[in-house]
Each structure stands twice: as C-alpha cells, then as structure tokens.
Structure 1
Amino acid sequence: MPSSSDSSLETAIKGLRTTPPSRLPYQANVLVRSFFLERPAGNVVVYNSPGLTSAATHIRDLGGATRLLTNHSHEAMYGEPDLDVPVFVHERDRSETVRSMRVAGVFTSRQMIDDDLEVIPTPGHTPGTT
C-alpha cells in the first residue's frame, strides 16, 4: 500500500485521481485520502488529507485546482495543504475549520458548481457534513 510519502496521484477512473492513503491519526485502521477531479471548468480537490500535500507537485503539473471542497471540519486537523487552492466548507463547520485553515467560501445548501458537480449537505457526523 502506498503511504502519504509517495508523491504521485493514482488514477481511479478517467478524470478522477486519488492521493496516496494515510492513516487516520487516532484510528489506525482507517485510511483517508483526497480526490482530484479533472474538469473542463477547473479541477477540484475533494477532502483535505496528508496525501494532498505530498501530491502537490503532481497536482500543479495537472493544472492545479480551482477549489478544495472539504466534507467537514475535522479535515482541518491536517492544516492547509501545500497548494494555492481556495478552501470551501459548509457554513455550519466554518467556525471550527478556520482554526486551522483559511476558508475562502462557504455553502449553506445543496448547490451546483458549474453544470457537472453538485454539493449535497448531509449533516450528521458534524453540523455541516457534506
């Protein structure tokens, strides 16, 4: 299994790449990773994880990303990735997220990003889980 020290993104399916997996710091049997979605309207990263910084050069080589969509505030525990990418989070998780990461924008309800990506809030784990 690759570790977060590997620097390459892996292709999951055409247009979707994954960062190397990393173990959740407080639950070693859980792996986390980020996803890099290649889109004509601008690439998007989904989830913040340690693998995101280790894959930063590869992400920049692919044209970078227009935004990082976080699922919930706990992803902020990894801090800001080594990428110049604006971070977006649900409004209900913003106050917790800004303790560790700059937040460029928020969403409050289901919304489309361009015509090919939909953000759907599913509160439960945290108030703003999306």
Structure 2
Amino acid sequence: MEALFDNLHGVAAERLSFAPAFEGRAFLLARPAGNILVYSSGRVADDFADLSAAGGIARQYLNHEHQANRSCDSVAAEFGAPLYCHAADAKAAAKTCNVDQTFDGRAHHFDDFEAIPIPGHTPGSAAFLWTNGAHRYLFTGDTIYLRDGEWRIAVLDGISDRVTYRESLELIRGLDFDVLVPSMAKGEPFQVVPADERYQRIDKLIARIDAGEF
C-alpha cells in the first residue's frame, strides 16, 4: 500500500486488461471513525497486511458495476467490510460478488463522507465526496479519469447515456472539491486542482459530450 497524499492511500495498482496503458486501483481513506475502501482492485490481497496495520477496512464502496470483482468478497471475508453500491448497478454487480448494501439518492453516509449519484457512464455510477478537514476529495470512478494529467470521459456504446452523463458533469461542476481521485489513470493517480481550473476542465468535458466525442 502506498501513502499518496494526506490521509489517502493507494492499494497496489493493476494494469487494466481493456486499457493496458492505464492503471486501476482502490483507495483507502484513513479515518478515525473507521477506514473506507473506495473502488476495487484485483491486487487488494497483496496489501492485506498493510491494510490490517492501518486499522483494517470498515466499508467498501464501488463507483459502478464494472468494478465488481472477486476481490470484494475477499475484503469482506478478511475485514468484515460490507460492500456498498448504487441500487441501479447492484443487480449487475451481484453477478460477480456479494453486494451487502445499496443506496439511491444523494446522502451523507458519515459526517465526512457523501455518496452522490452521477449516472451516465452506467445507470448506477456514483461519486463519493470525502472531507477530512485538510482537503475535499472527489472520487469519480471512470466518469472522469486521468490521462497524463488531462481529464477524460468514458462514454461506452450501448451502456452510457449522454444526456444523464452531461447532467452529472454539470452536478460535479457545482461540487466543492480540491482533489480529484478517479479509479483509473495513466500517470499520476490523483490530481490537486484549484477551483477556477476545475470549472474549465469540466466545461471542456461537457463540450466533448455535446460534440458527440468519447
């Protein structure tokens, strides 16, 4: 496990079979009230010792159905951590691993941790906003990912919906965050971003949606 920034830790990264130039990873949010694992990783078992030393895992959250894999069950077995995902993607995720809890609307699951539906990439895509006092981290999954420092969108034929994707980008534009943490990246796995730059980057992504680009 790698200490990345403040209380954000990265689980061992894995090369993505559908995009070999990119790495995917899960992130541990170190919290006094109980650590949260966001996303999943096929290599999470490699870091079980480090995760235990850091206080274990109280809950795991998936951004969307494509993140469901057998490692989620191994996390549950090792740490007793229930798996959460959006209700709209729960049926698909449950084909691969056990889904313990679902959520639907926007809500604070803890004082410092909010689940925010952002449909578009998939019907049940969700972002997570973590406020730890020093920073406000936004976990966007594949809805916004990083390629050599640039923000990108992932519109999938037959799965994604451009109208709801655009609406979700507008919602994200209005969120107050200063650290972007996607589930896949080529280059740095997260990015610290000032507010004015954040608006510009989101506007570029919306323009790509309007232009019919991916």
TM-score class, shorter-chain normalisation, is: 0.7 to 0.9
Q: In structure 1, what residue type is equivalent to 2:88?
A: R
Q: What secondary structure, in the 3-state scheme, does the structure 2 residue paired with 1:65 have?
A: coil
CA distance, structure 2, for counterparts of residue 83 and residue 57 of structure 1: 12
- The answer as to whether partners of 1:80 and 1:100 remain within 8 angstroms in 2 is no
- The answer as to whether partners of 2:84 and 2:99 remain within 8 angstroms in 1 is yes
- The answer as to whether partners of 1:66 and 1:86 remain within 8 angstroms in 2 is yes
CA distance, structure 2, for counterparts of residue 126 and residue 100 of structure 1: 17
Counterpart of 2:42 (choices 42, 50, 59) is 50
How many residues align? The count is: 121
Structure with greater Cα Rg: 2
Please say if 1:80 is aligned against 2:76: no
Question: What is the TM-score of this pair, normalised by structure 1?
Answer: 0.87
How far does the alpha carbon of each residue in 1:6-34 deviate from its partner, in whole angstroms, 9 at most, with x for none? xxx11111211001211111221121000
Question: What is the TM-score of this pair, normalised by structure 2?
Answer: 0.54
Moved over 6 A (4+): none
CA distance, structure 1, for counterparts of residue 10 and residue 56 of structure 2: 14
Q: What secondary structure, in the 3-state scheme, does the structure 2 residue paired with 1:80 have?
A: helix
Please say if 1:112 is aligned against 2:108: yes
How is 1:1-130 mapped onto 2 (pairs within 5 angstroms)?
A: 9-76=1-68, 78-81=69-72, 82-84=74-76, 85-130=81-126
CA RMSD of aligned residues (A): 1.2
Identity of aligned residues (%): 32
Which residue in the other structure is 1:3 paired with?
none
Q: In structure 2, what residue type is equivalent to 1:96?
A: A
Which structure has the highest helix share of the two?
A: 2
Deviation at 1:109, TM superposition (A): 1.1
Q: Which runs of 5+ in 2 are unaligned?
A: 127-214
Q: What secondary structure, in the 3-state scheme, does the structure 2 residue paired with 1:63 have?
A: coil
- The answer as to whether partners of 2:12 and 2:41 remain within 8 angstroms in 1 is no
CA distance, structure 1, for counterparts of residue 97 and residue 103 of structure 2: 16
Q: Which runs of 5+ in 1 are unaligned?
A: 1-8
- The answer as to whether partners of 2:42 and 2:71 remain within 8 angstroms in 1 is no
Tell me which of the two structures has the higher relative contact order, counting C-alpha pairs closer than 8 angstroms and 6 or more residues apart: 1
CA distance, structure 2, for counterparts of residue 116 and residue 51 of structure 1: 27
